[in-house]
Amino acid sequence: MEHSRQLGYMKRSLFDQGYLDEQFYQLEELQDEASPNFVEEVVALFFKDSLRLMSNIDQALEKHPRDFHRLDSLMHQLKGSVSSIGALRMKNECTLFKEHCDEQNIEGCQRSFQKVKREHAALRQKLETYFQLLRQAGPAEKATRSGV
Amino acid sequence: MRDQFPVGMRVLAVDDDPTCLKLLEVLLLRCKYHVTTTNQAVTALKLLRENKDKFDLVISDVHMPDMDGFKLLELVGLEMDLPVIMLSANGETKAVMKGITHGACDYLLKPVRIEELKNIWQHVVRRRKFDRVDADDDYERLQGANCALGHCQVSDGSAELAGRSTRKRKDQIDEDDDDNNIDCENDNAQENEDQDPSSQKKARVVWSVELHRKFVAAVNQLGIDKAVPKKILDLMNVEKLTRENVATAFGVRDPSYLHMGALDGFSNYQSLAPASAHLPALTSFQPSGLLNRTNPARLGLPGLSPAGIVPVGCIQNNAISNPIDNLGNLSKFQCITENQHGNLLQGVPSTLELDQLQQSKRVQEANNGFPNGFSGNGLASASCSTPFINTTNNPLLSQSQTQLFQSRGLGSHSSMGFPLINSESSQGTLRVASSNLSFNHDNLSNIGNNFSTVSHIENNPISISASSLLGGSPYDSMAGRNLQNDSSFLGGNMIHSHVTIDEKPKILNFGAAGSFKQKTEELKQGLKNEANQVFSAFAGASQPTSHIIDPNPINRLEKSNINGNTDMGLFGQASISAPVLPPRYRIDNKPTTDGQLNFKDEFLLGSSRLQGGFTSNGCNFDDLVSSMIKPLAFVATHDVQSNFVRILEQERDDLMFVDGDIGCDFYPLGACI
C-alpha cells in the first residue's frame, strides 16, 4: 500500500517535473505477462547505451577542428533513444544542443551538452529509485497505472 | 500470407540503437507480428538475401553506422522488392522526402507508436497488389507493342523485364533473373552511391559502338529468349556497365520503348544509304536501314535487326518519367555513325541511334498515334529511349518520336529543331557535342546551347550523343527555341559523331532552335519543302551517294530555310521547322523507291532523321507537317552546325529542320543515356 502510494507519487512527480512524457506511458502499456519487466529493461538498456553515445560526443567536442556535422549526427543518435523512453527534459536539452551545432556554436554546444549530462544523471537517479520501489511493490501495485 | 494476416506478418527490424530496437521489437510483437531484429544493416541484408521470402516487410532506422538507411532501403527495394518502412527521429520534411523518394513505403517518426505499427501491414498488401497490376500492365503493353512489331519473340525477355516495372523486381520474376539481377542491382547501387541522388538513376554509360557490338554479340550468343540483362552484362564484361544499362538498352525499363522494333527501322535506314557499303563498321546499327525501308538487308547489324535487340542506348533507368529526362539520356547516347552512310545519320549511328531508328520504326508501326508527336509508345517511352536518327519511314519516325518524346513531354513539343547533320567532309566545323553529355533534361533550353558541332565530320563516324540531340530546350511547336548554341543545333550534345560526309553535306536542320518559334507557320509551310530538303540534306551529308535529296526541295528549302540565322546557328532555320527529314531521301542520287525516303515520314515526325537519331521514314509530308508541330525532329546536333553551314553552301538544301521541342522529342537517336 505504502509502496503503491509512493510509486504513484513519484511517478506523478516525474511527469509533473517534465522528466518523463507520454512515451513512458507507452512503455508501460507494453509491459505484460510476456514482458513483465519490460520498462525496467528498456530503461536499463537506455542508460547503458547512452553512456557510450555521450562519451562519443565528449570526444567529438574535444576534437579540433570541430566537426559539427559529426556532433550533430552523434546527438541525433542519442536523441533517438532518449525520445524512445520518454525522457523529456533530456530530450529538450538534446534539441538545444543540435541547434547550437547548426549555428556552429561550439560553446553553446558545450554548455548544452553539460545540461544533457546533468539531465541524464538526474533522470537515472530518479528512475533507479522508481524501479526499486516498483520491485518492492507487489504485482498488484506494479500493475497500477501512473497517476494512482 | 497466412490466413490470419496481418497476424504473423514477418517483419525484419533494423536499428543500431539497442533501446529503440528493443522497443520496436516489443511493439511489433504486441501487434502480433513475427519479428526478427538486427542492429546491423549488413546483417539485415544478409538475412534478406538468404531468403527473401522469409520476410514480408522491413522496418529500418535511417541513421545507422554501418550503412545508411536509405541505401539499405534501395537495396532491399531493388533486390527483394519488399516494402520498407523508414524510422527516424528526424521528422524534417526533406528527410521524409528523401525516404519517400528512395522508395520507402512509409516514414515513421521516433518514438514510434503502436498505433502506427498496427497499420503497417497495409504496405505489404498494397505492394503485392500493385505489383501485380503494374507488371501486368507493363507486360501487356510490351507484348502488344512487340507483337505489333512482329517481335513478339523478342518481347518475351523484355516483357518480363518490363513486367518488372521500373520499380522492382517482383517475386514472380523467375529465380534465374532474380539471381542474375541481384548482383547487378548491387552494382547499380554501388554505382549510384557516389552519384547525386537526384541523378542516381542516370546511367553514365555512354553506349558506344563498342558497347553496342558487345551487346549485340552477347544477345546473339545467348539467344533472344535467354538474353537477360544479367547474362548479357556478364558476357559483355564491361567494367562499370550495369545491369540497368543493359536492361535499358533493351528498353525494358521503359516498356513503352519497344525497342526491338526499332531495329527494323534501322534496317531501313541502312538501306537508305545503299550505296556505300560503308555501313559495315556498324555491326549493330544499320543506319541505312532506317533510311531505306526497302533495303533491309542493309542492315548492317548482323542479327541485330531482326532481333531488334538493339540496345537503344543506355537509357537510364528511370528515364521514363520525363521526356526531358530522355533527353538527358540522349545525351549520353552516342551514336556513331559511319560516314558513309550518309543517311541522316551520316553514317550509321552505330550506337543506339541506329537502334533507335529501328525501334522507332517499329514503334511507329505499333504506334500509330503519334498525336502529339509521340505517343507513349514504347519507343518513345517516356524515357526517351534512345533518340535515334531515324530517317526511315514514317513508322519509324513516329516511333522514334514516340521514343524520343515522351508522350507527355514530347507531344507537346513541336518539331524539334533537328540539326541536320551535315557531314561535310571537310568540315571541321562539326564539333562533336561532347561537352554536353550532361544533358539537362529539365532544362530544355540547353538544347540549343548544348549543341555542339561535330567536327571531323569527314570520315568520322558520327557519334551522336543523344543528349546533344536533344540538346536542350524543347521547342514548343515548331517554334523551336533558339538554339543558343550556334553550332549545335539541336542537340549538339547529342551528336557526337563525326559525320563524315563525302558529299556535300547537307545539313538537316531540324528544329532550328530558337528562331523557329516565329516561324512556326512558315515552318509548317515549309515543312514540306523542308522535309525534302532536310532529307536531302540529311542524306547528303552522309555520303556522296547517300541521301541525296531531291534537289528541288532542297533548293527550295535552301532558299527558304537557310536563313543563316545567326541565332540558329547553322541550323537555326525557322523554316525548317518540320520534320527534319525531307521526305525524299535519295540515295545514290536516286530517289528512293520508298518514296522519298522515309525521311519524309520522319520529317513529319520531325524526327531526327538526321544523323543521328532521326527517324523519319517515309512519312508523307503532310503528315509530317502536322506532326511536326509537336514533335521534334531531333537532329544530330553536333553536326548540325557544320552541316548547317554546309547546307547553306549547298545548292540543295537539305536542311531539314525540325522545329520543335527537341527536348522531349528527341528521338531515338540512340538512347542517350
- Among B15, B16, B20, B62, pick the best mutation site for testing chain A contact (most A Cβ within 10 A): B20
At A67 the pLDDT is 92
Distance CA B51, CA B47 (A): 7
Question: d(Cα B124, Cα B109) in Å, to the nearest integer?
Answer: 19
Peptide bond into A65 cis (omega under 30): yes
CA B595 vs CA B440, B449, B546, B576, B591: distances in Å: 37, 35, 15, 20, 7
Pairing label, strands B462-465, B334-337 = antiparallel
- Provide the number of CB pairs (under 8 Å) joining chain A to chain B: 58
Confidence at residue B225, expressed as pLDDT on a 0 to 100 scale: 76
End-to-end, the C-alpha distance of chain A in Å comes to 11
Contact call for B114 and A73, based on CB within 8 A: no
Q: Do B114 and A26 touch (CB under 8 A)?
A: yes
Grid cell 512489331 is found at: B149
What are the angstrom distances between the C-alpha of B582 and each of B258, B548, B612?
25, 10, 15
What would the pLDDT profile of A81-126 be if each residue is shown by its tens digit? Answer: 999 999 999 999 999 999 999 999 999 999 999 999 999 999 999 9
Using a CB-CB cut-off of 8 Å, the residues of chain B touching A42 are 19, 22-23, 26
What CATH number belongs to A1-137?
Answer: 1.20.120.160
The pTM for the full model equals 0.41
Asked if B234 and B364 touch (Cβ cutoff 8 Å), the reply is: no
Q: Which residue of A has its CA nearest to B21?
A: A81
> Would you state the pLDDT for residue B209?
67
- B17 reaches A (C-beta below 8 A): yes
Residues of A at the B interface (Cβ-Cβ below 8 Å)?
23, 26-27, 29-30, 34-35, 38, 41-42, 45-46, 49-50, 73, 76-77, 79-81, 83-86
pLDDT at position B296 is: 39
pLDDT of residue B29: 93
Separation in Å, CA of B28 to nearest CA in chain A: 10
- Residue A138, pLDDT score: 67
Q: Identify the pLDDT of residue B206.
A: 62
In this prediction, residue A13 carries a pLDDT of: 94
Contact by Cβ (8 Å): B330, B495 = no
Give residue B244's pLDDT.
Answer: 73
* B460/B111 Cα distance (integer angstroms): 63
Q: Which residue has the higher pLDDT, B331 or A28?
A: A28
The CATH homologous superfamily to which domain B10-132 belongs is: Response regulator (3.40.50.2300)
pLDDT for residue A3: 75
What is residue A41's predicted lDDT score, i.e. its pLDDT? 93
Mean pLDDT in consecutive groups of 10 residues from the start of chain B, 673 residues: 78 94 93 94 92 90 89 88 90 90 92 91 83 53 49 42 43 44 42 44 59 75 77 76 72 44 41 40 39 40 39 38 41 39 40 44 44 38 38 41 40 38 38 38 40 39 37 39 39 37 40 43 51 44 41 44 40 39 42 41 40 42 51 42 49 44 42 45
Place of cell 510509486: A7
Tell me which of A52, A77, A79, A85 to substitute to probe the interface with B (most B C-beta atoms closer than 10 Å). Answer: A77
- Classified as helix, coil or strand, B597 is coil
Cβ separation B89–A76 shorter than 8 A: yes
Which of B18, B63, B113 is opposite residue A26, by nearest beta carbon?
Answer: B113
Residue spans of the domains in chain A: they are 1-137
| Residue ranges per structural domain of chain B | 10-132, 209-252
